[in-house]
Amino acid sequence: MVGSSIVRQLHIGGLSPASLIFRTYAELDLTKRAGVQAFCAAVQPTQVDLAAASVFLMNLPKAVYDQHTLPTRPSHS
């Protein structure tokens, strides 16, 4: 979802989709430094757009979802 929006905006900006390089989490685990370094050394990207998000809240009941997503108010002591 986030990734496709980035791709759409890059395309609107004139970047050819054929020049984009994609990797799934299964293909490139960004938490493994050695793998990321090897990938960057092999591919030599000129720009990196990281599109990672947590979507675990999507399946929670609305009250729980709201509790985690509504803006917080400063506490008064």
* Domain-embedded: residue 7: yes
Q: Is the pLDDT of residue 22 over 80?
A: yes
Phi-psi region of 70 (alpha: psi -120 to 50; beta: other; left: phi over 0): beta
Distance CA 55, CA 25 (A): 14
Note the pLDDT of residue 42: 95
* Domain-embedded: residue 42: yes
* Domain-embedded: residue 10: yes
Note the pLDDT of residue 30: 86
Q: Are 69 and 57 in contact (CB under 8 A)?
A: yes
Q: Are 27 and 39 in contact (CB under 8 A)?
A: no
Contacts of 45 (CB under 8 A, 6+ apart): 21
* Domain-embedded: residue 74: no
* Domain-embedded: residue 76: no
For residue 61, the enclosing domain spans 2-69
How many domains are there within the chain? 1
Q: pTM of the full predicted structure?
A: 0.54
Mean pLDDT of 36-63: 75
* Domain-embedded: residue 53: yes
